[in-house]
Chain A
Amino acid sequence: MQEGSIAVNEMVTVSCGALIVIGTILTIKESDPFRKLISLGIMIGGVMPFIVDRGLLDVAIAVALIAPLSTLFTLMICGRGEP
């Protein structure tokens, strides 16, 4: 009974941690810049629930607004020519 409750409580942490690890390994392994950016988005999606889990909602709002900006800036030099 207690074991099942603990397993369910840790499920969010384990799944978001797996999302972070998978996104990091994919970002390092891929060679195409667009694929790297998509994998980076997977990693950021794993980081975000940890900030919300701490209760820092203002930080979560600021990071959620600012994080896509850096992806947008990187896309400005992704498109042209041979990367």
Chain B
Amino acid sequence: MNPEFILGAFLLLAGTVAAAFPRPRTYLNRLINLEISSWGLLLLMLSYNEALALLTFGGVSALTVYIFVRVLQKKEAAG
């Protein structure tokens, strides 16, 4: 139970609840709150010393955000 594990679990729980029930219910708020839990998962991987998993997840999470942004842009353009 090192501090990284506790903080990562807190971030994961808080980010998941915040992404499920955002205060103003917009897609953008959900997307920003989703990043909190993403960083929590990164801290959990750090507490188990998984360097390769950290590198891969750090690279792919930015790609995921880009895909979500493209989807939201197309949705705004459509209607």
Assess the B32–A27 pair: CB atoms within 8 A.
yes
Q: How many A-B residue pairs have CB under 8 A?
A: 102
Chain B interface secondary structure, helix, strand, loop or mixed?
helix
Interface magnitude class on chain A: 35 or more
Q: CB of A11 within 8 A of chain B?
A: no
Q: Given A51-B46, A77-B72, do A28 and B36 touch, yes or no (CB 8 Å)?
A: yes
Assess the B58–A24 pair: CB atoms within 8 A.
no
B→A interface (CB under 8 Å): 3-4, 7, 10-11, 14-15, 18, 23-24, 26, 28-29, 31-33, 35-36, 39, 42-43, 46, 49, 51, 54-55, 58-59, 61-62, 65-66, 69, 72-73, 76
